[in-house]
Amino acid sequence: MGKNVIVVGGGIIGLCSAYYLKKEGHEVTVIDKSNMDAGASYVNAGYITPSHFISLASPGMLSKGLKWMFNPKSPLYIKPRLDIDFLKWVWAFKKSATPLKVEASIKPLLDINLLGRELYEDLQQSNEFNFHYERKGLLMYYKTDKVGEEEWEVGKRGIEEGLKVEHLSQTEVSKLEPKANLNVKGAVYYHSDAHMTPNNFMQEMIVHLKKNGVSILKNEEVVDVDINNQKILKVITETRQLLCDEVVLAAGSWSPKISKKLGLKLLIQAGKGYSINLNRDTNITIPAILCEAKVAVTPMNGFTRFAGTMEFSGINHTVNPVRVNAIAEASSSYYNQLYITSEEKAQAKCGLRPCTPDGLPYIGKTSKYKNLTIATGHAMMGWSLGPATGKLVSDIISEIKTELDIQAFNPDRIF
């Protein structure tokens, strides 16, 4: 028998959860505090990334972050602040950034990314949607031999894990992108990856869900929950009280605020990223990451997006022009004839990516409640992992065997 499910959060994770729950015959209501037309699910690079099997919490990342702390143009920027939740997160990150833990995370990260790609392709081939999706792979451009060697070490590990990866010379790169006028030494090419136009898919998914009976409540914030005997009975917004059998917490960077109402300690920090759209021909045809600058470049449906930076400065949507300029300058240094105008930079958007200390998302039931499923903390892979997470959430609530082993994503894990 179908259950009455409340999904808190209307980003890519929440919408995909609603989609697969509805397919299993559940009654679904999605609640979001925003108008559901902006934020991380709309301004991201649109990557589906089996190539991203190395956790963000890798050895040396924290020391890089500390080194870059006072450089607002750096790829990773940590705003110095005395905040107890942030300090707890940093300590947990430090404990997670070990070779042993990174090694243990490779298989679960790769498996869930591959499942995400498979499900996107299933959706594309269905008669339900007509969204932009291309599988052209991902080029990891580098300017220095040192970074090229580091990227190829990861690439070789990808080959061991079953991915098709090539190390390309400057000449070989030029043959793939003959009109882009690149200024690079070479690239590591992951054939496994795909890309999309995020706002295109999000709009289609919202229309589809509404058409199929999913209730979507925009501009409503969850202010409280009614709990009895380890069970959430009602979700309370500013305007209504909603009875429920099950609750899915998929509120991204806002998940800790809600989880505190439930007495849960979800370690998540918002990692702000920025994107600039160029609504003109750039001669860029294959998605790429500019490795030294950590900038992502995606040819989307009608425009090219330049996205990047990871900024830990709390929950805010302030666009920092210094960060935007850093993306623009880096892009021009890799593409010789590319110039991003001040008008284009002025239109830059930002989004908050929910980051866990170990780089693995939280997906699964928490032991503290009988009817609460957590689905958040996907960091830079939220777009890639949307359908996979949604399917796993649906499997959990429908009480059927999950598509993957989800133990690594246990929301009760201790750091």
Tokens of 243: 């009875």
In this structure, what is the dihedral angle of CA atoms 175, 302, 352, 390, given to the nearest 10 degrees? -90
pLDDT at position 69:
64
Side-chain-side CA neighbours of 355 within 13 Å: the count stands at: 26
Closest CA to 386 of 141, 48, 8, 131: 48
Residue 388 contacts residue 361 (beta carbons within 8 Å): no
Farthest CA pair distance, the chain: 66
User: Domain 4-409, what fold?
Assistant: FAD/NAD(P)-binding domain (3.50.50)
The dihedral of CA 270, 139, 53, 251: what is its sign?
Answer: positive
Tokens of 165: 């990866």
Q: Name the residue ranges covered by the structural domains of the chain.
A: 4-409
- Spatial separation of the C-alpha atoms in residues 129 and 387, rounded to whole Å: 14
349-376 residue pLDDT tens:
999 999 999 999 999 999 999 999 999 9
- The DSSP code for 87 is H
- Spatial separation of the C-alpha atoms in residues 265 and 59, rounded to whole Å: 25
Q: Whole-model pTM above 0.85?
A: yes
For the chain, the average pLDDT equals 95
Question: Which residue is it, tokens 């930079």?
Answer: 345
253-301 residue pLDDT tens:
999 999 999 999 899 999 999 999 999 999 999 999 999 999 999 999 9
153-187 residue pLDDT tens:
999 999 999 999 999 999 999 999 999 999 999 99
Number of neighbours of residue 403 by Cβ within 10 angstroms: 16
Q: Please compute Rg for the chain using Cα positions.
A: 21
Q: How far are the Cα atoms of 78, 289, 298, 325, 327 from residue 72, in angstroms, in the given order? A: 9, 20, 24, 11, 12
111-142 residue pLDDT tens:
999 999 999 999 999 989 999 999 999 999 99
